[in-house]
């Protein structure tokens, strides 16, 4: 449909805003409406129609739209079929933003390890139940890649982080996968710094036990192996 799109039945109805910072009120209203009842790709309107419905200037509306776009809430397209729609999900972006925010607020190493020790065994157990042949093949491949990287601290650590992320994805729980993926880059420098030969060998053995348990679809063994892995890391 070209030009201004017709407002469909069930489309959100915006209320005029009167706060001191109008653009912030627009952002609040749109975010709450998206959370309440909208889906990726849903039509919100054009800059002109939104400005009119909110009772604000197009300049103020544009400011709000830019903030919503920066937050990953909306997507803006130009042209005949352009306008503002609810954004498509980007799980990797959520993890990246979460990692940056945790870094900025000064999350400590002990806090990170505590969460990993709590969540990673849950993810491993779930992965043992839900992992597909493709998931398992990817884990086996990453384990082989980490073995080849033995002696190269940075690469060894980076591949290990990817293995943990793959286990999170295989758990079937997207919240677990996102949170664990966000924690990994925060810990990578610490893992890399302390990845001496002896510890690297223990990490490989632990990863092998975890992958073997997941491949056997043994949830209890996967959980136990992951728990032991993080207890050993916490001890160091």
User: CATH number of the domain at 91-235, please?
Assistant: 1.20.120.530
pLDDT per residue rounded down to tens, the chain (236 residues): 444 555 555 667 766 666 558 899 999 999 999 999 999 999 999 999 999 999 999 999 999 999 999 989 999 988 777 789 999 998 888 888 899 999 999 999 889 889 999 999 999 999 999 999 999 999 999 999 999 998 888 899 899 999 999 999 999 999 999 999 998 888 766 665 555 678 889 999 999 999 999 999 999 999 999 999 988 866 55
User: CATH number of the domain at 22-86, please?
Assistant: 1.10.10.10
Looking at the chain, the domain(s) classified CATH 1.20.120.530 span 91-235
70-74 contacts, C-beta under 8 A, 24 or more apart? 71/27, 71/31, 72/97, 73/30, 73/31, 73/34, 74/30, 74/44
Looking at the chain, the domain(s) classified CATH 1.10.10.10 span 22-86
* Residue with tokens 């610490």, as numbered in its chain: 190
* Residue with tokens 């919503």, as numbered in its chain: 68
Helix axes 91-104, 174-193, angle to 10 degrees: 50
């Amino acid at each position: 449909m070209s030009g201004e799109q017709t407002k469909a039945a069930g489309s959100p109805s915006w209320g005029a805003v009167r706060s001191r910072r109008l653009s912030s009120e627009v952002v609040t209203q749109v975010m709450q409406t998206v959370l309440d009842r909208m889906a990726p790709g849903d039509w919100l309107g054009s800059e002109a129609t939104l400005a009119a419905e909110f009772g604000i200037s197009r300049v103020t509306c544009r400011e709000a739209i830019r903030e919503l776009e920066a937050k990953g809430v909306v997507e803006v397209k130009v042209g005949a079929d352009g306008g503002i729609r609810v954004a498509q999900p980007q799980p990797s972006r959520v993890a990246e933003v979460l990692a940056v925010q945790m870094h900025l607020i000064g999350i400590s190493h002990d806090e990170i390890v505590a969460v990993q020790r709590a969540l990673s065994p849950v993810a491993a157990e779930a992965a043992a139940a839900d992992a597909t042949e493709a998931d398992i093949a990817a884990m086996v491949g990453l384990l082989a890649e980490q073995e080849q990287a033995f002696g190269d601290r940075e690469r060894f650590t980076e591949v290990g982080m990817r293995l943990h992320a793959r286990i999170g994805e295989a758990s079937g729980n997207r919240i677990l996968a996102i949170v664990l993926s966000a924690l990994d880059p925060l810990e990578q420098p610490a893992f890399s710094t302390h990845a001496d030969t002896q510890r690297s060998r223990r990490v490989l053995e632990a990863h092998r036990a975890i992958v073997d348990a997941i491949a056997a679809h043994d949830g209890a063994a996967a959980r136990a192996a992951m728990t032991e892995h993080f207890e050993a890391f916490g001890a160091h």
